[in-house]
Chain A
Amino acid sequence: GENVEQHPSTLSVQEGDSAVIKCTYSDSASNYFPWYKQELGKGPQLIIDIRSNVGEKKDQRIAVTLNKTAKHFSLHITETQPEDSAVYFCAVRGSQGNLIFGKGTKLSVKP
């Protein structure tokens, strides 16, 4: 079955710096890659997603890149702010439509 690896598990940056989180997957047929942000005590919130027919997508300070050949995709957050502090999860859509999640990255943005 599909396997999703996410790195790093923790990431600490200074306010204003950029943060990059990377994920790899195993099934070359995968075609949908969402990213979720989870704040303490809350459910995951979809922040950006990318389909396999594009290589990059940007939404204000957040961007996602996809390399289908290498089977990896990355989340880029620029000009980080303290409110970006949360746990971020990458996911890959499985063959039946369920999402297969990475183990998460705890991002801390220091003011």
Chain B
Amino acid sequence: NAGVMQNPRHLVRRRGQEARLRCSPMKGHSHVYWYRQLPEEGLKFMVYLQKENIIDESGMPKERFSAEFPKEGPSILRIQQVVRGDSAAYFCASSPRAAVGTYNEQFFGPGTRLTVL
């Protein structure tokens, strides 16, 4: 039973380029969360998605960042026109069931480490 998969594991981009980060949840999980981790800090929530729906994007910057979780295929976190401050580790987590009103265990992938030159 494969865990949460993320690719690429490492991504280098120059300022102004686009970064696309992919996340495949665990089998049977239909809820995906994206988090960002700066060096020496905890994880900060960005966005929560179900298949074809964004449930909560309160932690995601309004500009340059977008996320999707299509009916088929992985969830994608897209960062347009990257800047040096976007350099961080980006983790996704998946959960088997809805979060609101229930307890939900979240299982994390290995992360994508984005470096912006």
Interface on A for B, CB 8 Å cutoff? 6, 31-32, 34, 36, 42-46, 49, 51, 89, 93-104
Contacts and interface: CB of A to CB of B under 8 A. Distances in A.
Contacts of A96: 48, 55-56, 58, 99-100
Contacts of A89: 42-43
A93 B104 contact: yes
A44 B110 CA distance: 8
Band of interface residues on B: 20 to 34
Contacts of B65: none
Closest 8 CB pairs of A and B: A97-B99, A101-B42, A43-B108, A98-B45, A96-B56, A103-B42, A43-B110, A101-B43
B98 to A, nearest CB: 7
B41 A104 contact: yes
Interface string B67-103: 0000000000000000000000001010100111001
B103 A51 contact: yes
Contacts of A49: 105
B109 A43 contact: yes
A98 B59 contact: yes
Contact of A97 (B35, B44, B100): B100
A103 B43 CA distance: 8
Contacts of A6: 42
Interface in B4-63: 4, 6, 31, 33, 35, 41-45, 48, 55-56, 58-59
A104 B42 contact: yes
Contact of A101 (B6, B44, B58, B110): B44
Most chain B CB within 10 A, of A31, A44, A51, A89, is at: A44
